Amino acid sequence: MSVAYRNPHVGAPPAEIDITPDLVRALLTAQHPDLAHLPIRLVASGWDNDMFRLGDDMAVRMPRRLVGVELLQNEQRWLPEVARGGLPLPVPAPLRLGVAGEGYPWPWSVLPWMPGGPADLDPLRADQAPVLARFLKAVHRPAPDDAPLNMGRGLPLRERVSYVAPRMARLAAETDLITPRIREVWDRALAAPLDVEATWLHGDPHARNVLTQDGVMTAVIDWGDMCRGDPATDLSSLWMLLPDLASRHAAMAAYGASDATWLRAAGWAVNYAVVLVDAGRVNDPRLAAMGAKTFAAIEAGD
């Protein structure tokens, strides 16, 4: 199975279907009637899914565009298996599954409600470095041969060049973000050998997918891009999430990896920074700010 990669340079896409609390309640009434009496309210609209809070302890996750369906099914199939292996932070493995009905054409999930808010609004404290490292280490275990691959995550970084290069060129022409330091980190990453076996990956470890309370990690969400591949992809989160060079060094020491892996991870951080800024400048200032913050972390050094 291969998971499609989204094209964020066009900006946050519009929904392809209107999902209302009334529709969610109708689906619950038809398929999970014991939950249909609970309060329902929209709490987030992402690129691919709308999220509704269901009572106090649950959420309903519903694709808002066709491209999100495969990602949701990927999460439904594989996240319970990864979670059963034991992770040091909560993850929203589905509690119930839903199918098309009541005029809604796609599958959907009932999830546990995760505590906290997105880390781009409540950044991680420096002392969370070993917590992040332990979580990533727990995720990065061998994946079965039939685990999904992803066209944009976990692959050799040089296969991203055709995607990243025009976006990097656009940012170089229109901003001051693509500095000699950024180009050096990118080039070193492209030259670094892929010296590890493929593992499970979260696949999209940016700050909106990490939840915090007062700077403490509480959960990791949005597993639609989970796949088998190079763990350096996820290790890019050290540059996206941690506040300073010292905390990144602490996370590196706690995780333990080869020099080549850290070079590739820094390159993946450049990849994410480029994509976040290039997409966010269109219509999502929070994304652009996340990317600019990641560029600043890369500039701060190894």
Please report the pLDDT score of residue 105 as a whole number: 98
- Of 81, 113, 145, the residue that ends a domain is 113
Please state, in angstroms and rounded to a whole number, the distance separating the CA atoms of residues 189 and 221.
27
Q: What does the block give as tokens for 142?
A: 């061998």
Looking at the structure, tell me whether residues 71 and 137 fall in a common domain: no
Predicted TM-score (pTM) above 0.85: yes
Q: For 5, how many CA atoms within 13 A lie in the half-sphere containing its CB? A: 16
Confidence band of 7 (pLDDT split at 50, 70, 90)? low
pLDDT single digits (tens) 169-224: 999 999 999 999 999 999 999 999 999 999 999 999 999 999 999 999 999 999 99
Q: 147 and 73 share a domain? A: no
Please report, for the domain that includes residue 104, its CATH number: 3.30.200.20
Q: Look at residue 294 and tell me whether its pLDDT is greater than 70.
A: yes
Number of separate domains in the chain:
2
Q: What percent of the chain has pLDDT over 90?
A: 92
Which domain-ending residue is among 98, 113, 128? 113
98-150: pLDDT as tens digits: 999 999 999 999 999 999 999 999 999 999 999 999 999 999 999 999 999 99
Q: Does residue 10 register a pLDDT over 70?
A: no
CA-based nearest residue to 158, from 195, 192, 196: 192
- Say if residue 128 is in the same domain as residue 108: no
Question: Considering the chain, what percentage of its residues have pLDDT values greater than 70?
Answer: 96
The pairing of strands 2-3 and 149-150 is parallel
Same domain, 188 and 108: no
Residues 86 and 70: their CA atoms lie apart, in Å, by 25
Read off the CATH number of the domain in which 201 is found.
3.90.1200.10
Domain that holds residue 109: 2-113
Do both 105 and 134 map to the same domain?
no
Given 57, 88, 113, the domain boundary residue is 113
